[in-house]
Amino acid sequence: MGAIISQTRAEEAKAIYDFGRAAGIGFQLQDDYLDAFGNPENFGKQVGGDIMANKKTYLIIKALEKASTDQRKELESIYFENSISDPDLKVERVKELFLEIGVDQDIQDKSSAYFTEAKDHLKRANLDQEGEAQMESFLEALKSRKY
C-alpha cells in the first residue's frame, strides 16, 4: 500500500510486495516451528498449541508427505483422530515423530530460504540507503526470534 500511495514505479512496488510476501511466509514457517519446538519462556506462547488444535501447519503436511506408512498411520491417528487424549502426551509423541521424520530441519531450511528470498527482493526495491537499512533491520528482527 505504501509503495502504491507513494507512486513508486511498478517494478519497485512489485519488489516490495514480493519482499513482504517472502518475509511473511518465512515468519509463519518460523512461527510453526517455534510453536512445536520453541521455549515457551522466549516464545511467549504455549508450545504445542497448533498440535493440540490439530492445525494443518507445514510441519504436519510435510511429515505426512515424508512419513513411512507406519509413521503416517500413527500421525493421522494421533493428530486427526485424537487417539491420545492427554494433550501433553499427544504433543510429545507428535514432536517425536516430527523429529524422526526430519521435518524440524525441513521447516527451518524453508523458513531461512524465504528470508533469503525476501532480502533478494529488497535489493530490487531501489530504496534509499536509510529505507533499505530499516527494512533489513525489520527482516533481521523477524529472523532472530528466540527459540
The confidence score (pLDDT) of residue 127 equals 86
The confidence score (pLDDT) of residue 42 equals 67
Give pLDDT < 50 ranges for the chain: none
The confidence score (pLDDT) of residue 32 equals 94
The confidence score (pLDDT) of residue 5 equals 64
CA trace torsion 32, 35, 38, 40 (10° rounding): 150
Domains defined for the chain, CATH in brackets? 2-143 (1.10.600.10)
Burial profile 12-22: b = 16 or more Cβ within 10 angstroms, e = fewer: ebebbebbeeb
User: pLDDT tens-digit profile of 109-133?
Assistant: 999 999 999 999 999 888 889 988 9
